[in-house]
Amino acid sequence: MHGEYKVPGGKLVVVDLEERDGRIADFRLAGDFFLEPDEALADIDAAVNGLPVTADVPAIAAAVRAALPDGAQLLGFTPESVGTAVRRALVTAPAWRDLDWEIVHEPAVSARMNLALDEVLTARVGDGRRRPTLRIWEWNESAVVIGSFQSYRNEVDPEGAARHGYDVVRRISGGGAMLMGADAIVTYSLYVPASLVAGLTFADSYAFLDDWVLQALRSLGIEATYQPLNDIASPEGKIGGAAQKRLAGGGVLHHATLSYDMDGQVMTEVLRIGREKLSDKGTVSAAKRVDPLRRQTGLPREAILERLKDTFTRLYGAVPGHITEEEYAEAEALVVSKFATDEWLHRIP
């Protein structure tokens, strides 16, 4: 059995192992990480050999940590990442390049249509009717997108939204409200089979699925990092956030919104951002929380989108794709039956 795990912001951890009588055997660790002293590699191998194949990531990490000699230095990986690679081997999780990727970047549609496409394309990847896909959003209106479990009343000032021309919509994933001004946001969605994140905790899957975008941002000179649970940030401030939804049919939706430009005053007039939420971020102003890509790079939005697509293509061998007429029709029907209804928008008043 073979498993790989690229540590977000770190190195590749590779494991090979066999299963005998319900236990791990012939375990070998490899990768492009750094480890001192050299003999610690054998200690890690010995610690994992003999563990039950049912051992979870914390149990494997604890065994590795207990076996390390005093003063051992692990650079670019952790005992937990070894555990994750083991779990991925035991469930035969594919690597990114094992999948046949396509990138979709099509003309603008409404915010509701973008949300409906997310649900439709995730379901189709889950049941095998579509290849794993990265989709870049384009939209023809400004919108507030609230999380699946947020209260409309608590998050949005309807008068402020109307005054500034913002539609209000609700997505199927959790997380917080996003102010999506026309041409002021970079948003993308990943539609992947559940097998790609097999062996990862829900929390770890966020950083795993967005590691490629950190690489793209760093290539633009931004010191991008992932801040648990779901923030993408730099030393200058938050850049954006991610959210996920896992469908029963086996598809996983992972989408993220990055701020390209921002009017802080509009944000405070459209969103009801409570002081308690701001206080745990170490700031007293919503406008100061987000540091847009335009200021950090000086590049047009289109150039940033091209860098994202180029990076994803280089890393995973993706090819250009498109949304079919059948998929558009299914999404349009879902807008009518769900995303444009008051029942959905106000399901949590």
Whether pLDDT at 281 is above 60: no
pLDDT at 276 over 60: no
Structure tokens at 37: 């002293």
- What's the N-to-C CA distance of the chain in angstroms? 49
Distance of CA 100 to the CA centre of its chain: 19
CA proximity to 88, closest of 18, 191, 5 = 5
Percentage above 70 pLDDT, the chain: 95
| Average pLDDT score, the chain | 94
| Phi, psi angles (nearest 5°) of residue 315 | -75, -40
- CA atoms of 91 and 2, how far apart (whole Å): 10
Q: What is the pLDDT of residues 44-67, one digit of tens each?
A: 999 999 999 999 999 999 999 999
Return the closest-CA partner of residue 158 out of 346, 285, 287, 347: 346
Q: What is the H or E stretch that residue 300 is in? A: none
pLDDT of residue 327: 98
pLDDT digit string, tens, across residues 191-200: 999 999 999 9
SS3 290: strand
Q: Give the CA distances from residue 115 to residues 151, 175, 186, 301, 340, in Å, rounded to whole numbers and listed in that order.
A: 18, 15, 15, 21, 10
- 21-35 pLDDT, tens digit each: 999 999 999 999 999
Write the single-letter amino acid at 298. Answer: G
> What is the rounded CA–CA span in Å between residue 68 and residue 231?
32
Cα distance between residue 129 and residue 111, in whole Å: 24
- What pLDDT, on the 0 to 100 scale, is given for residue 149? 97
For residues 131 and 101, the answer to whether their CB atoms sit within 8 Å is: yes
* Res 284 pLDDT > 80: no
User: Which tens digit of pLDDT belongs to each residue from 204-253?
Assistant: 999 999 999 999 999 999 999 999 889 999 998 899 999 999 999 999 99
Which strands form 12-20's sheet, in the order they lie side by side?
Answer: 2-6, 12-20, 23-31
pLDDT band at residue 201, thresholds of 50, 70 and 90?
confident
pLDDT for 234: 93
Contact (CB, 8 A) for 173 and 243: yes
Helices 79-90 and 57-67: angle between axes, nearest 10 degrees: 130
The whole model's pTM is what? 0.91
Q: Are 135 and 105 in contact (CB under 8 A)?
A: yes
Strand partners of residue 142: 166
What are the structure tokens assigned to 247, written together? Answer: 């469908």
